[in-house]
Amino acid sequence: MSLIKITDQPINTDELTKSLIHPEFGGIDIFIGNIRKFTDEIETEKIEYTTYKQMAEKEMQKLADQVLAKGMDVVMVHRVGELNLSDVAVFIGVAAPHRAEAFENCQFLIDQLKRTVPIWKKEYDRDKIRWGGLGE
Amino acid sequence: MSLIKITDQPINTDELTKSLIHPEFGGIDIFIGNIRKFTDEIETEKIEYTTYKQMAEKEMQKLADQVLAKGMDVVMVHRVGELNLSDVAVFIGVAAPHRAEAFENCQFLIDQLKRTVPIWKKEYDRDKIRWGGLGE
Amino acid sequence: MKVKLFSILAEEIGATVDLNLNDNFYARDVKNSIKKSYPEFSDILDQSLVAVNEEYADDEEFKLSDVTEIAIIPPVSGG
Amino acid sequence: MKVKLFSILAEEIGATVDLNLNDNFYARDVKNSIKKSYPEFSDILDQSLVAVNEEYADDEEFKLSDVTEIAIIPPVSGG
């Protein structure tokens, strides 16, 4: 019942959350990343995400498979396109028999997604445009 | 906008999740605990939660205050009464500027809730009734 | 003084138990007093905490006149 | 061979760049070949990885005849 995808549509957090609630599991940890207005002094207006979609979904599936192999359920959805303040960019959920595993694996998935999955952000800040991942 | 409460009504995970999404924060971690069918070999049929409500809400607020004081947003809701398989018993959410803090503080809140908040479960298992927290 | 009981103690003994406490008392006196009447719950009482005025009580002495509410808190199991 | 570009490279250079690769090549050859034509992006290319057939490429040698897709992956920034 795992769901792994890149989408250009708004993320339905309610539907994804409910898909993780099963009687086999007792603990669900969910990470939601949304567009933040301020990063220190920098004010963001919108973010445009692009992706190398086929490869990104493969890389997400590889990460999910490591958690699925331990008998947990996983949801990983990343949105691309133009996102405004508060819009949800990423939803990661792990359902596990016990809560410690749910936390640990959910954090693993978002940490790894940020390291390996080919998705890029172009940040439209009040002062200028910034490309995520590149030094100033 | 923090919300701390004990309720005898079903937990609206969608409403609580959306209440945590603000442009001031970029990372939200949510823990959802639901009624699990199997704990090793033991099959659970339902759980009845009771509470010392005024004190439980005070204890939950004390925990939340520690996280609110660090500038994050917090939701902590625990349901009491008779819960069936899959029903959500607890929802803990932390919204923070950065994700590591969200994970750390969400896990802190559920761990502490289980240690200090006066809520008790009476577990109706297939073989017998078990009171949570007491040795066999 | 009526002491609130919860969980298995409430189910087995009742929602409250009436105790005679001294004008000055310690949290442990509350548990000991219940143990005398209900020795079969000594084991659970040993694992329980005492809450005075909706706060967990430490080893300090309480003045009965300051106390509006006492409760026995068996090991909690929320979540 | 058309090589896919993304992020700032796609915006500045285009969605693909056409390269002449040898029948046997290494991932670094792809980056070096682009650098020759676009020296102004050397810095970004140094930070980028190469993906061959939708997998991150290590230092191994590739046979051009086995390759259906090559892409340059600048530092990722999802999440």
pLDDT in tens, A6-64: 999 999 999 999 999 999 999 999 999 999 999 999 999 999 999 999 999 999 999 99
Residue A93 and residue A4: Cα distance in Å, rounded?
10
Q: Are A66 and A33 in contact (CB under 8 A)?
A: no
Give the pLDDT band (50/70/90) at residue B136. low
Chain C nearest CA to B132, separation (Å): 5
Classify residue B136: in a domain, yes or no: no
CB atoms closer than 10 angstroms to residue C70: 24
| Chain D residues close to A122, C-beta within 8 Å | 7-8, 11
| Chain B residues close to C53, C-beta within 8 Å | none
Chain B nearest CA to C32, separation (Å): 19
Chain A nearest CA to B53, separation (Å): 23
Per-residue confidence (pLDDT) for residue C63, from 0 to 100: 97
pLDDT in tens, C8-17: 999 999 999 9
Count how many domains chain A has: 1
The answer to whether C1 faces chain B, any CB pair under 8 Å, is no
Residue B41, pLDDT > 60, answer yes
Classify residue B10: in a domain, yes or no: yes
DSSP string, C12-42: HT-SEEE----SEEEHHHHHHHHHHH-GGGH
Biggest distance spanned by C-alpha atoms of chain B = 50
The answer to whether D73 faces chain A, any CB pair under 8 Å, is yes
Residues of chain D with pLDDT under 70: none
Enter the tokens of residue B136.
């066999």
Residue D17 one-letter amino acid: V
What's D25's DSSP letter? Answer: E
Residue A111 and residue A131: Cα distance in Å, rounded?
19
Enter the tokens of residue A102.
């749910």
Residue A26 exposed, middle or buried by CB count within 10 Å (0-12, 13-18, 19+): buried
Write the residue in D4, D44, D78 that is nearest to A114 by C-beta.
D78
Domains in chain C (CATH in brackets) are 2-73 (3.10.20.30)
Side-chain half-sphere of B108: how many Cα atoms within 13 Å?
15
Q: Are A33 and B22 in contact (CB under 8 A)?
A: no
Per-residue confidence (pLDDT) for residue C59, from 0 to 100: 86
Chain B nearest CA to C2, separation (Å): 15
- Report chain B's mean pLDDT, rounded to a whole number: 96
Q: State the pTM of this model.
A: 0.97
Enter the tokens of residue D14.
């285009």
Pairing of strands A27-34, B27-34: antiparallel
Residue A69 and residue A74: Cα distance in Å, rounded?
10
The answer to whether C13 faces chain B, any CB pair under 8 Å, is no
Residue B48 and residue B63: Cα distance in Å, rounded?
24
Classify residue B33: in a domain, yes or no: yes
Picking from B20, B31, B106 by the largest number of A CB atoms within 10 A of its own CB, the best residue to mutate is: B31
User: Can you point out the beta strands (E) in A19-118?
Assistant: 27-34, 38-39, 42-51, 73-79, 81-84, 88-96
Enter the tokens of residue B114.
């289980």
The answer to whether D4 faces chain A, any CB pair under 8 Å, is yes
pLDDT in tens, B68-106: 999 999 999 999 999 999 999 999 999 999 999 999 999
Residue A136, pLDDT > 70, answer no
Per-residue confidence (pLDDT) for residue D59, from 0 to 100: 86
- Residue B11, SS3 per DSSP: coil
Label each residue of B20-57 as H, E or C: CCCCCCCEEEEEEEECCCEECCEEEEEEEEEECHHHHH
Residue A119 and residue B108: Cα distance in Å, rounded?
31
Biggest distance spanned by C-alpha atoms of chain D = 37
Enter the tokens of residue D28.
């670094």
pLDDT in tens, A59-98: 999 999 999 999 999 999 999 999 999 999 999 999 999 9
ipTM score:
0.96
pLDDT in tens, C36-64: 999 999 999 999 999 999 999 998 899 99
The answer to whether B41 faces chain A, any CB pair under 8 Å, is no
Which chains lie within 8 Å of chain B at 3 or more CB pairs, if any?
A: A, C
Classify residue A125: in a domain, yes or no: yes
**CATH number for A99:** 3.90.1170.40
Classify residue B78: in a domain, yes or no: yes
Q: Return the residue of A nearest to B95 by Cα.
A: A32
Instruction: Please give the residue range of the domain that contains residue A111.
Output: 3-131
